[in-house]
Structure 1
């Protein structure tokens, strides 16, 4: 019932047979690839329970976000809840490690689960060394998703992206307390609170939003825009687990390498 759990299942070799809104996978998750035969069971809040029951699942995995429909899910199959993004504000990377091991144990895939954890931790350590050697580690970065031309979702402490930056030795330029999802929704003028930061924004973003930003006096007045320190990044799931953490880390490394090359 969750993209982060689904990407974890794929990585340990047991892809889900069904998922809410699999059509959105390519926009938000991208990798690992979702099997083409994954059944669409509707939306997460209002799944097609008749279809789900007809599939006769062995297990349903869900999150606290869908606690309201858990009794309905339990009427169909054994249901397990995994808490990555829930109060109190925590560290999604660490919680993802715990959930990955628990999920792998339930499914008899302990070796695959440990391999995924080890791979994620090794990638973070390798990038930490790389960033330290390249000299980018001390420069603050803000990571945002555009909601429209005036508002962004900016990822701070308690976000998966924030955890990845910390593990990789990077400085998160957004220092305000975040919600338990790890983000704040703010007007773009609030981004001026971190004038030294580079800004990295995530796809998907509409061409119309980019065109209107280019003409916006407010946007063009921001320090990182004036300094030419704005970069675009392909999509990575902000509410994912270890596979999304690794994808984000690799993409961020590519963005920073591109910036150094341009410099």
Structure 2
């Protein structure tokens, strides 16, 4: 999150908090006159700390991890978009939408009166303001230079501890580890096979994912080689044109992450470079549904399943000629 985004959050949160504080002060003066003595009472014994029930979440990776452990947030940011990109686990209808992740709606947060607000370290600039609405904890999600999978396992354990469900976190991690190991065994015939993961920007340019990235992490876990070995940015991808794809190993399978521009199929049909790619000529193009590139363990597993299903279907159709080389081509 940039400083400008954080500044907008500060302005919005600050304005709503000031208005809310003014209303609270007025109400207090009406119900508690200054000359009314407060009743004396001995302090009650401290109560055992309860696990938070009404949790507001501003980060999708945290929200996905909670949902996977069946700990559903009371509210998340950009709920509708989350349902498109993270998909599973889905949020229940009772989970409220807090507006944009970069600019959450402070009025909705105030009305929710959360027991706890969970966010990533990107919200450090506005933590002080968030804490005026409710207890706030910032979690490490994607830490540069650290192993992504271990980060996500640690995140699950931390959420389990915070919510009082450490047992669910341990079970979730164990189930994910086992599922990935199973997929790795299922893909034994493809051990070391090169795969490239791309998203189209337009008909000439793509984002291609390398290490470190969630996609590359998933490939490592199931014994598949990432064909892209060049440098990537802090988000795990590099912008490249189609000529870079021509430099990949000739037996590379291309996984294309949806969505892509509506006019892409027609333009690729007439693109000489695309048509000359070995992956295109040999029908090794696989489309994947939208996937949140900064997701949790569930997203790692979902992409691993996508790769397995795609490669196994490719095996089943080996030797057959494709009716077209990209969905939408005119035959």
How do 1:10-29 residues align onto structure 2 when only pairs under 5 Å count? Answer: 10-29=67-86
* In structure 2, C-alpha distance between the alignment counterparts of 1:203 and 1:211, rounded to whole Å: 16
Measured after TM superposition, the shift of residue 102 of structure 1 is 0.8
SS in 1 for 2:149: helix
Partner of 2:28 in structure 1? none
- 1:186 is matched with which residue? 240
Match for residue 151 of structure 1?
Answer: 205
* 1:116 aligned partner: 172
Q: What CA distance in whole angstroms lies between the structure 2 residues aligned with 1:8 and 1:83?
A: 13
CA distance, structure 2, for counterparts of residue 192 and residue 205 of structure 1 = 20
Q: Give the distance between the partners of 1:84 and 1:194, measured in 2 at CA.
A: 31
Structure 1 residues 19 and 227 mapped into 2: Cα distance closer, same or farther (>3 Å)? same
Larger radius of gyration: 2
Q: Which has the higher contact order (CA 8 A, sep 6+)?
A: 1
The normalised TM-score by structure 2 is 0.74
CA contact (8 A) 1:86 1:181 kept: no
Contact residue 19 and residue 41 of structure 1 kept, 8 A = yes
Q: What is the CA-CA distance between 1:59 and the residue it aligns to?
A: 1.4
Deviation at residue 129 of structure 1 after TM alignment: 1.1
- Aligned-residue Cα RMSD (Å) equals 1.6
Instruction: Please tell me whether the aligned partners of residues 161 and 238 of structure 1 are also in contact (alpha carbons under 8 angstroms).
Output: yes
Q: Which runs of 5+ in 2 are unaligned?
A: 1-57, 319-331
Partner of 2:225: 171
1:70 to 127, 138, 148: 127
Residues in 1 aligned to 2:261 and 2:73: alpha-carbon distance in whole angstroms:
30
1:57 aligns with 2:114: yes
CA–CA separation in structure 2 for the residues paired with 1:66 and 1:209: 37
Q: How many residues align?
A: 260
The residue aligned with 2:154 is 98
Q: When the two structures are superposed, what TM-score results if normalisation uses the length of structure 1?
A: 0.92
CA 1:188–1:67: 2 relative to 1, 3 Å: farther
Contact 1:86 1:180 in 2 (8 A): no
